[in-house]
Amino acid sequence: MSSSTPDDRPKATAVAYQGEPLPNVSEDLVVPNILSLDFEERLWVPQAPDIWFRPILFNVSQGYFVNLLRVRRSGILSRHRHSGPVHATTLRGKWHYLEHPWWATEGSHAFEPPGDIHTLEVPDGVEEMITLFHVTGAYIYVDPHGAPLGVEDVFSKLSSAKAHYEKVGLGAAYVDQFIR
């Protein structure tokens, strides 16, 4: 098998696919204006004091979620271990892990491998941190020696969002648009 180059790809024409749809394919999901970051407050789901998340996708069949995390305080947020890979793109502010030398600054992207254990800190002077997280599997919250204290995954995030949207008058079903 030879390697191909972009010039080897078949030429597409401006004609939409006209065949039968593949079976069991989920609907597309488009969430408009995700980078505006200034959403109606009711869309931000409280997670802890001065910490919220904004759901983008709850993929319950593959066990991952995508959300914006908004933090409006400095200090330690959590210590956790990942059961799957995590991608994080910092959109506002900065943060880091006590266990690593790097900083996630505005515009940077971080990959966190499964099994990594780290303590997330937002430094003094950061008024607001917003990061787009794509989390596969679960966060396992741990003590300083790695003993499990709690778990957060797509199902617990979904449950929190449903309860919040019901409480703020959008209705629990508001969250259904993000489920695939």
**Residue range 45-71, pLDDT digits in tens:** 999 999 999 999 999 999 999 999 999
Residue 33 lies in a domain: no
**Amino acid code (one letter) for 19:** G
How many domains does one find in the chain? 1
139 CB burial (10 A radius; 0-12, 13-18, 19+): buried
Q: What is the pLDDT of residues 5-29, one digit of tens each?
A: 667 888 888 899 899 999 988 899 9
Does pTM top 0.75 for this prediction? yes
Q: Is residue 121 part of a domain?
A: yes
Domain annotation covers residue 18: no
Write down the mean pLDDT value for the chain: 94
Q: How confident is the model at residue 161 (pLDDT cuts 50, 70, 90)?
A: very high
Does a structural domain hold residue 83? yes
CA atoms within 13 A on the CB side of 25: 7
- For residue 14, tell me if it sits in a domain: no
Domain harbouring 69, CATH code: 2.60.120.10
pLDDT for position 6: 66
Instruction: Assess if residue 27 is contained within a domain.
Output: no
Can you give the residue range of the structural domain that contains 48? 41-178
- Binned at pLDDT 50, 70 and 90, residue 112 comes out as very high
CB 96 within 8 A of CB 112: no
Q: How confident is the model at residue 145 (pLDDT cuts 50, 70, 90)?
A: very high
Is pLDDT of 1 > 60?
A: no
Q: What is the mean pLDDT of residues 136-145?
A: 97
Inter-residue contact 87 to 93 (CB < 8 Å): no
Neighbouring-strand partners of residue 119: 79
Is 64 contained in some domain?
yes
Residues 117/142, Cβ–Cβ less than 8 Å: yes
d(CA 146, CA 73): 25
> Quick check: is 15 in a domain?
no
Which residue from 175, 153, 178, 154 is spatially nearest to 163, judged by alpha carbons?
175
Q: How many residues does the chain have?
A: 180
The CA distance from 5 to 91, in Å, is 33
